[in-house]
Structure 1
Amino acid sequence: MMLIVAVDSAGIYHKDGENGLASSKDLDAGALFVLKSRGSWLHCGFHLTTAIVAPALLSLPFAFTLLGWSGGVVCLTTAGLITFYSYNLLSIVLEHYAQLGKRHLRFRDMAHDILGPGWGRYFVGPLQLGICYGAVIACTLLGGQSLKFIYLVSAPNGSMQLYQFIIMFGGLTLIMVQMPSFHSLRHINLVSLVLCLAYCACTTAGSIYIGHSNKAPKRDYTITGVGLNRVFGVFNAISIIATTYGNGIIPEIQATIAPPVTGKMFKGLLVCYSVVISTFFSVAYSGYWAFGNEARGSVLSNFMINGSALLPKWFLLMTFIFTLVQVSAVSLVYLQPTNVIIERKFANPTMGELSIRNIVPRLIFRSLTVIIATTLAAMLPFFGDIMALFGAFGCIPLDFILPMIFYNVTFKPSKRSLIFWGNSAIAIVSTALSMVGAVASVRQIVLDAKTYRLFANM
């Protein structure tokens, strides 16, 4: 079949039919070099799992301390159902436009075509870039914390500071970020899938072991905070859970699938959410059961008290190493939207991907993005607060609101239909939660700022 490809001023990938590859002279370098459409539905599942099942889920027991058992279970289950539904809606919309001859490769492309140019350029594009780059900062921080835990297990009285470990992790990311395309991460993300199952199994087993041992803390399941603090804590917890399920790069992940794309994203989502169910709930339940309202921002922090390990050292080391390696893959996934912009601005699509003309700017600008993220992670080591802020400002709009709007605007279901009112209700409630959650998360950061300092050794 003949293929005709063109890119308009917004960078939308247009083509006749779903088969074939685009010509390098017709595509911008970001789409050509980073978003290669060569993967299978299984590769899509690997990418989705790495983007969603990340070490951020280790904060779920902490979220339960703000919600209690019943509130935590309801919020965790509801968010899981809504995000699966939401991501499937996005996939359906993407498939619809692909069948019409216009395949969207980026979130901003969808917004441009469905809501108008201003939405893509001034709202969705910057919002997605901010949330993804924020996730990179959070991953860099968590990677540094994992390295520090490994160090403390080996040398309990060591004097090295957290920022030093964050810099070490940033150095690892600096090397790995040079992998040219999203598709080239497929094998790394397969390893990531296995590792997230492994460290979640270790975390669950460790929590259960401590909970049954004489080292177990006195468990108290009363919701932390009183009055206004408790109310803001609830919305803070909702933001954390939303962030844990957050993705924000569904179009970019679907862009890696080789055409035709119909039905492949749904299969990838089934792979991803089978892992989600087995990890999110086991970590949340076991961590909160073992530590109650003493659960920390990352439940792994509860495995050590004042430098003393509550589990065998080899077990702790194994768990932290699994987490460290997996979080490095997560940071690479969330760097892809930034990489797309870098390639589009500074690469030449008429020359080879591995030509000197394209390698040099890629090396320089990708390195700069990692250096900036590493510096910010070292300066602001407030992991739980950062997670809540990202959830309120970015994850809820991208993952809970826009997919509902995109579907209703694209397919125009009857205003008497259940799907129209269901989508509208989810979007309205999510908007309210996003606004209140944003206030709650900013308030929490202001409170913590009085306690912590820049480059704190947490």
Structure 2
Amino acid sequence: MDDLRRAPADNINGTDDDGRPKRTGTFYTASAHIITTVVGSGVLSLPWAISQLGWIAGPMALISFSLITLFASTILADFYRFPDPVSGRRNYTYMDVVKVNLGGRYNKLSGIAQYGNLVGFTIGYIITSANSMVAIKRSYCFHKHGHSFGCHTPINLFIIIFGVIQVFLSQIPNIQELSMLSLLTTVMCCCHASIGLGLSIAKVAGQYLNLSTSLTGVFIDGDKSNTNNLWTTFTALGNLAFAFGFSEVLIEIQDTLGSSKPENRVMKQASLAGISISTLFYMSCGLLGYGAFGDKAPGNILAGFGFFEPFWLIDLANIFVVIHLTGAYQICGQPVFGFVESFTRHRWPNTGLVNHEYAINMPGYGVYRATLFRMIWRTTYVIITTVIAMMFPFFNDIVGLTGALSFWPLTVYFPIKMRIERKKIPIFSFKWVWMQTLSMCCLLTSIAATIGSSQGIVKSLQTFKIFKSIA
């Protein structure tokens, strides 16, 4: 019945009901976008995060973040169209959704949170990719000279290399045209996660009687002060929150779906599939990685050299990581690009720099429509994020801080508040109380993770020499 209601909305001339080019996204492309975004650099830090929390709190926290993210994505999917979730007017961004449901003030706050954290995600992806590139070079060095050889390698060159690649990829006009890249990166993330999983299983099997793990994690480790253990525990929570961050781009992903079926129904199915697959990978990699390394789990399971051999397999896994995060950078960067470009088009509608398109015939692609502003703005954005990554290449702390800052406002607070407003849920009713309790618990978690990650960055800066990071 829903499909019959939607059919007349589509224009036979190749446009959708809003006059934009017909959307062609499907359940599979949406699931690929979700997996590409969710199973990003976060999966590499999971063994370290679990080691800080232990066998009890680690899996519980991981499952909790997964369920909360799934709950929030189900809520958000119904807000793509307004006021009716099936036949209402489209909202193209997270900010649009907040604006029509909560008003202008909340719209600005959500924009600061969303785009600020998307910038954080792209910086985190640069750092992670550069670490994997460095790991490829160091892996061969270790194989050639032995594991005790330093093989120290400057990281800045590899950060620049990744940035140059992104300068070209960032000229892809919009997120809908990333479908093939997203599918490729989904395969890559499954490959590198599977290699990490397989190596962890082999390591666990080889040292079954010598595992150094605990139920409560490194918090009870006598070699560290309770204060330091508390900070790292908070940072670990931020890493877990980062691992499930995709609410920032959910609406943008939903906006790629074809309208032959209700977008909210397809998006809920894609969210369930994407989060379920991601959680399965996370549980496997996180728990087996912790089982393999115990309290000495490296911050990055593939680039931190918990594994040395077979060196070629580790190199292959890190190549997969780089390819994967190349696409993930674009999935998170495209909403930022689109927001600025949309603003400038409305602000200066008659300016040629912003609005004049140059048609370029590209073999294998067709006609590419370029604008000078898009080229300048997107190149500038990549340069800025690349420089920031060179200034603060602290993997776990940056990942933790980004996850902490984004999790509560974007994944929990705004979806719950919009649900309460839309459904007119009475104050102090059972549903209102438990939703507000959930929001408050997530707020406290985000605050704790922010404090822990910030403390870690401050500590790292005390001995760090800017632009001179050595792996």
Q: Same fold (TM over 0.5)?
A: yes
Question: Who is 1:321 aligned against?
Answer: 319
Change (3 A) 1:261 1:215: closer
Alignment of 1:25-104 (within 5 A): 37-95=23-81, 97=83, 98-99=85-86, 101-104=88-91
Question: Who is 1:397 aligned against?
Answer: 409
Question: Who is 1:387 aligned against?
Answer: 399
Counterpart amino acid of residue 193 in structure 1: T
In structure 2, the residue corresponding to 1:419 is in which secondary structure?
Answer: helix
In structure 1, the residue corresponding to 2:409 is in which secondary structure?
Answer: helix
Equivalenced residue count is 433
Higher mean C-alpha displacement, 317-326 vs 15-24: 15-24
Question: Who is 1:267 aligned against?
Answer: 269
Change (3 A) 1:94 1:385: same
For the 8 Å contact 2:54–2:213, the answer to whether it is kept is no
1:200 partnered with 2:193: yes
Match of 1:344 among 330, 335, 342: 342
In structure 1, the residue corresponding to 2:236 is in which secondary structure?
Answer: helix
For the 8 Å contact 1:62–1:295, the answer to whether it is kept is yes
Q: Distance in 2 between matches of 1:412 and 1:21?
A: 38
Counterpart amino acid of residue 296 in structure 1: P
Higher mean C-alpha displacement, 42-51 vs 349-358: 349-358
Question: Who is 1:252 aligned against?
Answer: 252
For the 8 Å contact 1:144–1:165, the answer to whether it is kept is yes
Once the two structures are superposed, residues 247-299 of structure 1 have per-residue CA deviations (whole angstroms, 9 ceiling, x without a partner) of: 12111111111224241101211320232132111110111111111112211
For the 8 Å contact 1:49–1:272, the answer to whether it is kept is yes
Question: Who is 2:154 aligned against?
Answer: 161
Q: Distance in 2 between matches of 1:113 and 1:21?
A: 29
Higher mean C-alpha displacement, 280-289 vs 387-396: 387-396
Higher mean C-alpha displacement, 322-331 vs 154-163: 154-163
Q: Distance in 2 between matches of 1:194 and 1:82?
A: 26
For the 8 Å contact 2:86–2:263, the answer to whether it is kept is no
Higher mean C-alpha displacement, 443-452 vs 162-171: 443-452
Match of 1:136 among 112, 122, 131: 122
Counterpart amino acid of residue 79 in structure 1: F
Q: Distance in 2 between matches of 1:393 and 1:209?
A: 36
Counterpart amino acid of residue 180 in structure 1: P
Q: Distance in 1 between matches of 2:206 and 2:91?
A: 53
Change (3 A) 1:393 1:203: same
Q: Distance in 2 between matches of 1:17 and 1:71?
A: 51
Q: Distance in 1 between matches of 2:9 and 2:115?
A: 27
Question: Who is 1:298 aligned against?
Answer: 300
Alignment of 1:298-447 (within 5 A): 298-303=300-305, 310-346=308-344, 354=359, 358-415=370-427, 418-447=430-459
For the 8 Å contact 1:235–1:440, the answer to whether it is kept is yes
For the 8 Å contact 1:17–1:101, the answer to whether it is kept is no
Q: Distance in 2 between matches of 1:448 and 1:76?
A: 26
Counterpart amino acid of residue 56 in structure 1: G
Q: Distance in 1 between matches of 2:304 and 2:174?
A: 37
Deviation at 1:351, TM superposition (A): 6.0
Counterpart amino acid of residue 33 in structure 2: H
Deviation at 1:419, TM superposition (A): 3.5
Q: Distance in 1 between matches of 2:158 and 2:186?
A: 24
Deviation at 1:345, TM superposition (A): 3.9
Change (3 A) 1:303 1:229: closer
| C-alpha RMSD over aligned residues | 3.0
Question: Who is 2:3 aligned against?
Answer: none
Counterpart amino acid of residue 290 in structure 2: Y
For the 8 Å contact 2:357–2:370, the answer to whether it is kept is yes
For the 8 Å contact 2:113–2:406, the answer to whether it is kept is yes
Deviation at 1:174, TM superposition (A): 1.4
Q: What 5-or-longer segments of structure 1 have no aligned partner?
A: 1-14
Q: What 5-or-longer segments of structure 2 have no aligned partner?
A: 1-5, 146-150, 361-367
Question: Who is 1:12 aligned against?
Answer: none
Deviation at 1:379, TM superposition (A): 1.5
Deviation at 1:415, TM superposition (A): 4.5
Counterpart amino acid of residue 50 in structure 1: T
In structure 1, the residue corresponding to 2:302 is in which secondary structure?
Answer: helix
After TM superposition, the score normalised by the length of structure 1 is: 0.86
Question: Who is 1:219 aligned against?
Answer: 212
Higher mean C-alpha displacement, 430-439 vs 48-57: 430-439
Deviation at 1:176, TM superposition (A): 1.2
In structure 2, the residue corresponding to 1:93 is in which secondary structure?
Answer: coil
Deviation at 1:78, TM superposition (A): 0.8
Once the two structures are superposed, residues 75-116 of structure 1 have per-residue CA deviations (whole angstroms, 9 ceiling, x without a partner) of: 001111111111111112334535463221111111211221
Higher mean C-alpha displacement, 45-54 vs 438-447: 438-447
Counterpart amino acid of residue 240 in structure 1: N
For the 8 Å contact 1:216–1:291, the answer to whether it is kept is no
For the 8 Å contact 1:93–1:407, the answer to whether it is kept is no
Question: Who is 2:148 aligned against?
Answer: none
Change (3 A) 1:403 1:21: farther
Q: Distance in 1 between matches of 2:119 and 2:339?
A: 12
